[in-house]
Every structure is written in C-alpha cells, then in structure tokens.
Amino acid sequence: MEYEAVIGLEVHVQIKTESKIFSPVKAGYGHEPNALVDPVVLSLPGALPVMNKAALDGIMKAGLAFGCAIPDTCKWDRKNYFYPDSPSNYQITQYDQPICQGGEVEIELPGESRNVMGEHKAIKLTRIHLENDVGKLNHFAEDSLVDYNRAHTCLMEIVSEPDMRSGEEAFAFLTAIRQTMVYCGISDCDMEKGQMRADANISVRPVGQKEFGAKIELKNLNSITGVKNGIEYEIKRQTRELKKGNTIIQATWRWDADQGRTEPMREKEDAHDYRYFPDPDLMPVRVDDVWRERIRSEIPELPWDKQRRFMEEYALPYTITSVLVPDRGLSDWFEAAAKQAPDLAQALGNYVANDLLRELSEADQQLGECEMTPNSLLTLAKAVAKGVITKQIAKDVFIEMFKSGETADQVIERKGLKPDFDESQVRIWCQEALDENPRVVADVRSGNAKAINALLGPVMKKSRGKASPQVVGALLRELIDAGE
C-alpha cells in the first residue's frame, strides 16, 4: 500500500520591537539573565498589562502580506497552565478571535536543477495570532534556572492548514515566511536566536484515504534544515509502523538533531485543559480601513513578485534573480543601477550576483559598508558596452573600484587601461591577422562563419588585450567581406 504524509506547521515569529508586548521594558536578545524584566513580565501582584501598538502593526503587516483577512475586532484570552516559563500561570493569547484569519504562503519547490525555477504552490493558513513569548528554562541535574528576558517579547503564531506533504514543502514554507518577514522588516527570523521557531504536526495515511491518521506533534525543530530532516524522519518512521500493522498514538515527540532521530517526549497522561477565558485586564482591539490601508501601504514589493518582475523587466536569468532577490538590500542596489540602463541589466546583474558578492565576502563587509555605489557600477557596465575596455579587463577594474570607491573611468584613467590606439590601428592589426592566416580567411569565405573566431586571438594579442572583441569581430568581418 502507498502512504502519504499530511503536515501542518505552527510557526512562532518574534516581532522586532523596542519594548515588550504588554510592558514597556526593553525587548532584546543576548543580555544578562533577568536584565529585561519589570513587574508585568514577572507577574508581580497588581501589575497590569498595556498593549504595545507596534506589535499590532507588525502582525497586521505580516497578515496583509500573506493575504489574511483582518477582522474588525479581536480580543485577548488567557491560556491557563502551570509551568515556570510563565510566572502568571497563564499566557495572554488570542483564542477565538485572532487578529489575522486565513491567508496563504506562496512557496517554491526545488526545480530540476539550480538553473530552473521550481514549482510554486500556495500553502493555506488557518490564522495568525498575537501572544506574549515566555521565559527560558535552563535545565540542570538537580534543578532548573529561569531567565525571563524572553518573556513578553512580541510573538506571533502562524498556524498553517494541513496542506504540506513533505519535509521539502515544510522547508520551503519556512523559507518563504522568513523572506517575507525580513523584507517587511517585521522580524529577522534568526532561528539561532529563537526569533523563529517551528513545531510540526505530522500524520501518515494510505493514499486515497480522506481521514487523517493520528498525528504526532514534533518539537525541538530549531533550524530550517532541522525541520526538513525531522519531518522526513518522522514520515518514514510512521509509514514503517503502519506497514508493520502497528497504530500511531497521538503524542508529542521531539527531534534529536545530533542523533538524527525522533523520540517521544515524557509527558503527563492527561490532556491539556487550558481553560481559555477573555483577559479582563486588556481591552479588545478594533481595526478600521484607515489602519489596514496604512499598514498595507508600508508593505514593500514581496520577494516572489520582485523575482518575476526582474525576470520579465530586465530579462535576468532565474539563477541571477535567485541570488539577488532573497536579499532585499542587494536587489534594491541592483535595481538602482539597472533602472537607469535597462539594456545593461544583465551585465549589472552578473556584476552584483558574482563580483560584488565575492568582493564583499572577501572583505568581510556588509553591502551598506562598501565604497562602491550603484552609479559607479553603472560606469563600468557602460565602459564595457562602449568597448572602452574588454570584459576581461573590467573584472580587474571592478576590484579596483570596489576597493577605492572610484568610478570605472577614474580607474581606467589612473591605471592607463584605456586603449592607446584608435580604430584605424585596430583595422591595421585585423588586416595583418588576415594576411597571416589565409587558410582561416578561405574557410570563412567558404561558409564557415565560426572560423572567424580563430582570428580574434591574434588581434587581441597585438592590442595587448585592450581592443574590444566586438569591434575586432566587426572589423574582421568587414575586411573579409570587402576582400571577396
């Protein structure tokens, strides 16, 4: 029997804000333990929560970017449970009236090869709601230590429909979420810093069966690769169990990345009873069209749209766009140059995706730190297009420009790279090459057009590499045709 997996993800994303969700204390990562706390975060008696408006703006931006509906009202509920990560014994969340409903995430599956765009697919969302993050426990042999710095960080939970069928799709889903969040400036989604965390619900069923199988909730997926590997392992395990005639019992398992396997988590037997009820300390939120439209206007062009546009508008190959577009700053940098000279866009795309990234990485620099500007790169592309320097020489000019911040013309001038001859000199070298290679000329004249390439080298050599291959090619053809 053939089996298929059904996967739904719950993705937590921290919203990048100055202060916490219900307290004005600073939000941050990497501080000394319990350095970012106040009476609200510690749930001291009498402390009252007050909403951070930026958290609402952030989640609405995410919701609108994913095409969610933003209902007119939403409210806050308490999810009650005892665990030291939450000193109030409840988490403030949104139970039956989340701020974002529905929506979908566009994902790209791997193509046949790296040069080919893969299939795009929409993964449906159930909802996105807002809640406070909780403290972090450090477990030791005898006891546990709690740090509440993370507690009350603005946190959104994105819940997908059981719409995915493989670890690869889950990987693509998380990648797409991260790209959109980073593009919109909502979150940096650094999984190592816990800014993005994912749990997966995985079940397996015979192909054709409508009902879902019993699901395993898989936790501890703390990298995007971990999500893919953990899910793939769990699908194989469940399929193997079902094939043996065993049943899957709904439970929570964890992914052990070091061992490369999943294992059941020790849990109390009784089901959770969270006793949700509306939080009496917090007023409901009402959203109007003015607010929705203000947030919508702040959403930049989203990555997939930008990639499609770059391929159409600038005729960039998929490989170049898939390097440029995931980085909003890099793609904007490219476009600042390309929109001034769309006919040079492919050359510019190559310089940015190859030369610029290589030099940045060698210099260990961020894009914002580098001396080169889009306008100076444009001078280089133009110099090559005009035949002032060859593509080969341009590679070296690029490196000089990157180091000094000069324009291409300044580097060409300073290094004396400009040809010290004019076209009449090139014509003389071409004629020499024809005279020296009569057999090639005969070959071309008898119809083998490609044979002309054999004459390029000798002319380039005579010009010490400075002649423009385009000009040389054209002159050679002209002279051969004229001699016929």
Partner 1 sequence: MAEDSQFDIEYTAKLARINLSEEEKAKFSSQLNSIIGYVEKLGELDTSEVEPTAHPHPVENVWREDVASDSLPVDEALKNAPAQRNNMFVVPKVVD
Token pair for residue 327?
């980085």
Neighbours of 319 (CB within 10 A): 15
50 scored as a contact of partner 1 (CB under 8 A): yes
Alpha helices (H) in 314-373, listed in sequence order: 318-324, 328-338, 345-350, 357-363
Token pair for residue 239?
């399929």
Half-sphere exposure at residue 82, Cβ-oriented, CA atoms within 13 angstroms: 1
Contact pattern for partner 1 over residues 391 through 430, marking x by CB under 8 A: ----------------------------------------
Residue of the chain from 138, 209, 250, 448 that contacts partner 1 (CB under 8 A): 138
Asked whether the beta carbons of 206 and 2 are under 8 A apart, the reply is yes
With CB under 8 A as the rule, give the number of residues binding partner 1: 54
Could you give the 3-state DSSP secondary structure of residue 227? helix
**Position 420, amino acid:** D
- Contacting range for partner 1; rule: CB under 8 A; set: 47-55, 101-109, 292-300, 441-449: 47-55
59-88: which residues touch partner 1 (CB under 8 A)?
73, 75-76, 80, 82-84
Supply the minimum distance, in Å, between the C-beta of residue 98 and partner 1. Answer: 13
Could you give the 3-state DSSP secondary structure of residue 439? helix
Supply the minimum distance, in Å, between the C-beta of residue 388 and partner 1. Answer: 52
10-29: which residues touch partner 1 (CB under 8 A)?
17-19, 24-27
Residue of the chain from 52, 321, 463, 468 that contacts partner 1 (CB under 8 A): 52
240-279: which residues touch partner 1 (CB under 8 A)?
265-266, 273, 275, 278
111 scored as a contact of partner 1 (CB under 8 A): no
Asked whether the beta carbons of 11 and 177 are under 8 A apart, the reply is yes
Length of the chain: 484
Token pair for residue 290?
């003015």
Please say which residue, 75 or 292, places its beta carbon nearer to partner 1: 75
Please say which residue, 37 or 417, places its beta carbon nearer to partner 1: 37
Q: Which has the closest alpha carbon to 425: 454, 457, 459?
A: 459
Asked whether the beta carbons of 459 and 476 are under 8 A apart, the reply is yes
Could you give the 3-state DSSP secondary structure of residue 431? helix
32 scored as a contact of partner 1 (CB under 8 A): yes
- Contacting range for partner 1; rule: CB under 8 A; set: 31-39, 175-183, 356-364, 476-484: 31-39
Which parts of this chain interact with partner 1 (CB under 8 A)? 17-19, 24-27, 32-39, 42, 50-56, 73, 75-76, 80, 82-84, 97, 137-148, 265-266, 273, 275, 278, 280, 282-286
